[in-house]
Amino acid sequence: MSKLWRGSATLSKVYSKKYLKNARIAYLFLIPSMLGLIIFRIFPIVYSFIGSLFSVSYTRGGSLVFTGLQNYLDLFQDPLFWHSLKITLIFNLFVNPIQIVIALILAVLLNGTNLSTRIIRTLFLLPLGVSVVIASTIWGILLNPHEGLINSVLKTLGLPMQPFLTSPNQALWCIILIASWCGIPYWMIFLLAGLQNIPSEYYESAKIDGANCWQVFWYITLPLLRRPLVFVLVADTSANFLLFAPIFVLTRGGPQWSTNLLMYEAYTSAFIYSDFPRALTITSILLLMLLVVVLIEIKLLQKEE
Amino acid sequence: MKIVNLILKYFVIIIFGIFVITPFLWTLVSSFKPMSFILAHTMPFSWKAFIPIPFSLDSYRTLIEGGFINSVIFTIIVGAITVVGGIFINSTAGFAFACLDFPGKRFLFIVVLISFLIPFEAISVPLYMIARLFHIENTVYSLILPMLANGLCVFLFFQFFKEIPSELIEAAIIDGANWWQIYWKIFLPLSIPAIISASLLLFLSQWQSFLWPLIAVHKENLRMVQVAIAYLTIEERTTLLHVLLAAAVLSSVIPLILIFPLQRYYIKGFVTSGMKG
Amino acid sequence: MKRKILMGLLLGLLLIGTLVNAEKIVVFFGDWMQSNFELYKQVNGYDLLEKFKEETGIEIEPVYYPFRELFQAIEVRMQAKSSEPDVFEVDSPLSVSYYVRGYTQPLDAYFSKEEIEEIKKKMFPATIEIATWDGKLLNLPFENSSQVMFINKDMFKKAGIEPPEMDVNKRWTWKQVVDAALKIQEAYRKEGKEVWGLLFGQVSRPYQMLPLPQSLGGGSGVSPDGYHVWGYLNNEKWKKAFDWWYKACNVWKIVPKGVTPEETTYLFLSGKVAMFIQGTWDIPTVVQAEKNGELQFEWGLAPHPYFKEGKPVTPTNSWHLAVNPYSKKKELGVKFLKFMARDDIIADWFRAIGQIVANREAMMKVLETDPKYKEFPWTVYKKIVVYELQNTAVPRPKTPLYLEWEDLVTKAFEDVRNGADPSATLDNYARILERMAAKYRKYKEGK
């Protein structure tokens, strides 16, 4: 705590009384939300982390035995863990840029106030109200290799039908597709809010200076969208790292483990294998990884003032 | 050059439009068909897949008779309360992070970040135990209280408030305003787009919530919409696909009815004119 | 006069006292039970839970969950060692798994030896077998299941083949099924239409698919003591069965890929499947579709096929009832279990709901007396189902690692369905499961 004080030591020397007074006011602003977060999020996750230090003893009828970091060691020796980790990293490497870039393009293109734009924009928001579970079920029917709509359209157009979710090579891409269908409208809204915040004067003066739309986008829009973009990147990364609903509904980690995301492995351990300690171990690792990734994203892209 | 750009723009919109809307269109049409015909027209491809013939309101009837509407109304109420309460407490926290300095700022910021990186499944058991401890299990409070404080929301407001130029704060302080007035009279009114985005975030977190309401509450009149859908569509050994499709249609249309009028408040320039410079 | 008033008051207080103290227990049911209870009341004229309350003074608060979520809810409660629910439904293959985790206590803790013997005698054998471990009966069998083959007669007609009959003595072999499927698909291909010869209802799930290796004599896929998988899952007969499955999906192509268990009934109803192997619970669904005029073809029922070189095997088992060891009202929960073991109650249950029960005595009583079972399709119960339940029904393996086993064997069937090598797949999954079994073995040896 004292180290954090020293960071603002210069301020405290000059404004020490004011600083303390402000700090008190800051806490008043913070307490409702922080209290909620600590009680309903932080405390449970600490409890869960502690839970990962125990194992189930099947001789004592399922009671827990303290085993320290044994669960972590067991996990690191499990080839399935490393495979799931690889799949998770590949998945996130592709799904995040795809979702954000498309959401950005759509936000820019649909950034208008006339009625037709508003109607089209609203249509693009249709996937929002549908839960990921329902969306996965519907896409599962559409992507069916024999009976699905997508394949029947391909067949009619003379193109070869695809195995989609039944192929180890295509399944993960189908999951990316479904996750994008659900996610893009969501991120589009946040980016739209950010776009609306850019004063029109900038665009007008750029037009006067003779800039074309690509230059406007690159040199004006993007830099001014930095903060909303960082928000979307962080939120999207965390949402995708923790995603497993389409796997749960459609592929259950297959075919041939090609879609076995780490979060799904955790869910399976908890609710299918009834092995909560293993599940908590996986989620603790996942949380740590995610925290590191998010901090890097913020550090790299956020301007420190 | 301009025409090329225009064609490109419409091309992109149409391509993504097809991607986004086609599944919804098929779902809409199929929800009006009887059970035996849902998979009948997809292969080989026929236009009948997009026309509701034979027509049947069976799916919708099952939904409505099963009390779906009640769960919708209940979820909207819970969502509204979460939005109002959540906007308030999360924006104040975001304000503190953006404009004030205090000991433990970095630590608490990490707390905020961690809070939305936590998968719910990892905390379902301890959260249930906490709900029992506070005796809010199986009450509406267990649905609302854990969802009010939202780290993502705090982060959203933080990002947005940081954009507001500090000159406004300095001017206000010179005028003798205290922090509460700065927050309430200056920052909030300037943040309408952020408030709308945060409202959406909070509302959708309730609209799409499933595992927590399932565990925390089992009274029938406290059923949230996604849980109600599961009850109405998941049978012992099968899923009532046709009812699921009808549920998908209704559950996507209802938030839209709430969102569409709010788009007016995303007006460009309204909030920022006179601010920069 | 005053005395009378006093007595009246005392009596009144006592009455209120018993009402207030009307003991209550919480029971977790699957949500299909809610409509089942309503149906029960409709057909039998009294409410089952009400009757229990009248006879014992105990009130039941039922809590209903959808199928998948019932497991999750039980997990969370048991992990939290919650005293609620007092009683819950157990998916019978999970009996051993729940027992080693301490989620249930064997019945000998609350039933007398004679009571247990009586229960064992009147239930179908497979329902007792799946819930017996270490010589103890782990929970109370309640519901049961069996499978038959649904037939689209029009498709057989088109190909000019005689469909199989509703007769256990004329059971088809898998070879006959494959030949018919190929002929039917060919007949439709000539007209440019694509149909499917064969479809399994709960496709890839062990519940449905286990008869394939078991009919060949490959065993249950787990060692008899339940702690080993290697050599039992990937033995020669299992590989032969998987090879057949691979061919059915990828070479002969009589089984469609990508169709999930949720979609299979819809596919059959839409008239695209010639032979559909599914549980008897779908009979009412087809009957209803027919009544609504939605069914575009004539349908029939036949017995579950088998491998000629082996013997017939059918899937079985369903929900049982168990008492929560952390409950504070165990004796009350036990009373409910004893109530649900009664012949008259279960007979009324079967009469109203029509889904197969574990109590053979109760079920036979209804089958003999109720005129409904003299007409198609309900004749299948007497002609096929009872025979299967007594003779060919084989339960799923009993092992502490049943949860992991079921999940991975499903994946094995799915992978092979989608084109993976059958032999390598079985070896691979057997290896993974053997490693998973280690954690149970460790505790068995008494760590």
Q: DSSP labels for B11-68?
A: HHHHHHHHHHHHHHHHHHHHTTS-GGGTTTSTTTT-GGGGS--S---HHHHHHHHTTH
Best of A37, A184, A297 to disrupt the B interface (most B CBs within 10 Å) is A37
Q: Looking at the structure, do residues A119 and A244 belong to the same domain, yes or no?
A: yes
- Residues in A whose CB is inside 8 Å of some CB of C read 56-63, 80, 137, 140-141, 143-148, 163-168, 250, 252-257, 268, 270-274, 276
Domain count within chain A: 2
Q: Do B130 and A43 touch (CB under 8 A)?
A: yes
pLDDT of residue C10: 56
Interface of B with A in 50-79 (CB under 8 A): none
Residues A17 and A147 in one domain: no
C101 and A273 within 8 Å at the Cβ level: the answer is no
Chain B residues lying within 8 Å of A42, measured CB to CB: 111, 114-115
Quick one: average pLDDT of A22-42? 90
Please give the structure tokens belonging to residue C111.
């039933």
Mean pLDDT, range C148-156, rounded to an integer: 96
Chain C residues with beta carbon closer than 8 angstroms to that of B71: none
Average pLDDT over residues A47-53: 88
Q: Which of residues 209-248 of B touch C (CB under 8 A)?
A: 211, 214-215, 218, 230-231, 234-239, 241
Question: CA of B269 to nearest chain A CA: how many angstroms apart?
Answer: 5
Cross-chain residue pair C103–A271, CB shorter than 8 Å: no
Give per-residue pLDDT as tens, A65-78.
888 888 899 899 98
- Decide if C281 and B237 are in contact by the 8 Å CB cutoff: yes
Q: How far apart are CA C232 and CA C238, in angstroms?
A: 8
Write the CB contacts of C154 (distance below 8 Å, at least 6 apart in sequence).
Answer: C271, C297, C298
Co-location of A47 and A177 in the same domain: no
Asked if residue C232 lies in contact with residue C309, where contact means CB atoms within 8 angstroms, the answer is no
Looking at residue A258, what is its pLDDT? 92
CB pairs under 8 A between A and C: 95
What is the pLDDT, as a whole number, of residue A4? 43
User: Which of B43, B71, B217, B234 would best serve as a mutation to test chain C binding (most C beta carbons within 10 A)?
Assistant: B234
CA C361 from centroid of its chain's CA atoms: 19
Residues A89 and A41 grouped into a single domain: no
For residue B35, give how far its alpha carbon lies from the nearest alpha carbon of chain C (Å): 7
* Res A60: pLDDT: 59
- Residues in A closer than 8 angstroms to B244, CB to CB, are 134, 137-138
How many other CB atoms are there within 10 angstroms of residue A265's CB atom? 28
Instruction: Please state the three-class secondary structure of chain C as a single string.
Output: CHHHHHHHHHHHHHHHHHHHCCEEEEEEEECHHHHHHHHHHHHHCCCHHHHHHHHHCEEEEEEEECHHHHHHHHHHHHHCCCCCCCEEEEEHHHHHHHHHCCCCCCHHHCCCHHHHHHHHHHECHHHHHHCEECCEECCEECECCCEEEEEEHHHHHHHCCCCCCCCHHHCCEHHHHHHHHHHHHHHHHCCCCCCEEEEECCCCCHHHHCHHHHHCCCCCCCCCCCCCCCCCCCCHHHHHHHHHHHHHHHHCCCCCCCCCCCCHHHHHHCCCEEEEEEEHHHHHHHHHHHHCCCCCCCEEEECCCECCCCCCCECCCCEEEEECCCCCCHHHHHHHHHHHCCHHHHHHHHHHHCCCECEHHHHHHHHHHCHHHHCCCCHHHHHHHHHHHHHHECCCCCCCCHHHHHHHHHHHHHHHHCCCCHHHHHHHHHHHHHHHHHHHHHHHCCC
Evaluate whether residue A57 is within a structural domain: no
Q: Write out the two tokens for B229.
A: 């859908």
Lowest-pLDDT range, A1-10, A232-241, C146-155? A1-10
Q: Indicate if A96 and A231 belong to the same structural domain.
A: yes
- C80:B34 CB<8 A: no
Residue A37 counted as domain residue: yes
Q: Show which of residues 44-63 on chain B sit within 8 Å of chain C, judged by CB atoms.
A: 44
What pLDDT band is residue C130 in, cutting at 50, 70 and 90? very high
For the stretch B93-131, pLDDT in tens is 999 999 888 888 999 999 998 898 888 878 888 888 888
Q: Interface pTM (ipTM) of the complex?
A: 0.84
pLDDT score at C5 = 65
* Model pLDDT, residue B51: 80
Closest residue of chain A to B99, computed from CA coordinates: A26
Tell me what the pLDDT averaged over chain A comes to.
85
Buried b (16+ CB within 10 A) or exposed e, C407-430: bbbbbbbbbbbbbbebbebbebbb
Rg (CA), chain A: 24
If asked whether residues A170 and A45 sit together in one domain, one would say: no
Residue spans of the domains in chain B: they are 2-56, 62-266
| CB pair distance less than 8 Å for C258 and A145 | yes
| C208 band by pLDDT with thresholds 50, 70 and 90 | very high
Question: What's the mean pLDDT when you consider all of chain B?
Answer: 84
If asked whether residues A207 and A267 sit together in one domain, one would say yes
How much is the pLDDT for B132?
85
Percentage of residues of chain B with pLDDT beyond 70: 92
Instruction: Please confirm whether the linkage preceding C256 is cis (ω < 30° from 0).
Output: no
Record: contact B194-A193, CB cut-off 8 A: yes
The answer, yes or no, to whether residue C15 has pLDDT greater than 60, is no
| pLDDT tens figures, B5-33 | 888 888 999 999 999 999 998 999 889 98
We report the CATH number of the domain holding residue A288 as: 1.10.3720.10
Contact check, Cβ <8 Å, C262/B238:
yes
Bridge partners (DSSP) of residue C88 are: C28, C322
pLDDT exceeds 70 at position A305? no
Q: B7 — contact with chain A (CB < 8 Å)? A: no
Write down the pLDDT at residue A236: 92
Percent of chain C with pLDDT over 70: 94
Please give the model's pTM, rounded to 2 decimal places.
Answer: 0.82
The pLDDT, as a whole number, for residue C22 is 64
Residue of B42, B148, B157 to mutate for A, most A C-beta atoms under 10 A: B42
Joined tokens for residue C256: 């469609």
Whether A151 and A286 map to the same domain: the answer is: yes
Residue of B nearest to C202 (CA): B237
Contact between B232 and B68 (Cβ < 8 Å):
yes
Pairwise pLDDT comparison (A221 vs C130), residue with the higher score: C130
C-beta atoms of C256 and A57 within 8 A: no
Cβ–Cβ gap C80/B125 under 8 Å:
yes
CA distances from C234 to A266, A290, C426 (A): 27, 39, 5
Q: Residue A259: which of A184, A167, A163 has the closest Cα? A: A167
A56 part of a folded domain? no
CA B77 → CA B67, B217, C88, distances in Å?
16, 16, 32
What is residue A118's predicted lDDT score, i.e. its pLDDT? 82
Kindly state whether residues A132 and A34 are assigned to the same domain. no
For residue B127, the chain A residue with the least C-alpha distance is A44
Q: Return the pLDDT at A3.
A: 43
In the predicted model, what is the mean pLDDT of residues C257-277? 91
Residue C3 is predicted with a pLDDT of 67
Report the gap between the CA of C309 and the closest CA in chain B (Å): 31
Q: Is residue A26 part of a domain?
A: yes
Are residue A29 and residue A144 in the same domain, yes or no? no
**In this complex, do A33 and B92 lie within 8 Å of one another by their Cβ atoms?**
yes
The residue among A129, C69, A182 whose CA lies nearest residue B247 is: A129
Identify the CATH homologous superfamily for domain B62-266: MetI-like (1.10.3720.10)
Encoded tokens for B170: 């300095």
A168 shares a domain with A26:
no
Parent domain of A29? 2-51
Q: What is the pLDDT of residue A12?
A: 45
Chain A residues close to B246, C-beta within 8 Å: none
Is the confidence at residue C402, as pLDDT, over 70? yes
* Nearest CB neighbour to B234, from listed C66, C201, C265: C66
User: What's the number of CA atoms in the CB half-sphere (13 Å) around residue A115?
Assistant: 0
Q: Quickly list H helices, chain B.
A: 2-30, 58-65, 68-99, 105-117, 120-133, 140-148, 151-163, 166-174, 179-181, 188-190, 192-207, 211-216, 225-233, 241-259
Q: How do residues C352-369 score in pLDDT, each as one tens digit?
A: 988 999 999 999 999 999
- Mean pLDDT lowest for which of B47-51, C198-202, C221-225? B47-51
Domain for residue A109, yes or no?
yes
pLDDT digits (tens, 9 = 90+) for A201-257: 778 887 788 777 777 888 888 888 888 888 899 999 999 999 888 998 888 888 889
Q: Among A80-94, A108-122, C253-267, where is mean pLDDT lowest? A: A108-122
Question: Does one domain contain both A28 and A82?
Answer: no
- Closest residue in C to B228 (Cα–Cα): C66
C421 lies within 8 A of chain A by CB = no
Question: Rounded to a whole number, what is the distance in Å from the CA of B72 to chain C's nearest CA?
Answer: 18
- CATH numbers and ranges of domains, chain C: 23-145+317-392 (3.40.190.10)
CA torsion angle for C43, C47, C52, C58 (degrees, to 10)?
Answer: 170
Residues from chain B contacting residue C30 (CB–CB below 8 Å): 236
Mean pLDDT, residues C39-45: 93
Give the residue-averaged pLDDT of C368-381.
91
Query: Per mean pLDDT, which range of B164-178, C282-296, C433-447 is the poorest?
Result: C433-447
A-B Cβ pairs (cutoff 8 Å, strict): 303
Pairing outcome for strands A54-57 and A63-66: antiparallel
Mean pLDDT value of segment B216-236:
85
Tell which wins on pLDDT, A128 or C6. Answer: A128
Between these two residues, C397 and A213, which has the higher pLDDT value? C397
How does pLDDT run across B147-159, given as a tens digit for each residue?
999 999 999 999 8
Check B251 against A22: CB less than 8 A apart. no
Residue C38 contacts A where some CB pair is shorter than 8 Å: no
Among B215-229, C124-138, C423-437, the least confident range:
B215-229
Q: Out of A254-268, B236-250, C156-170, C331-345, pick the least confident.
A: B236-250
Chain B residues inside the 8 Å CB shell of A121: 263
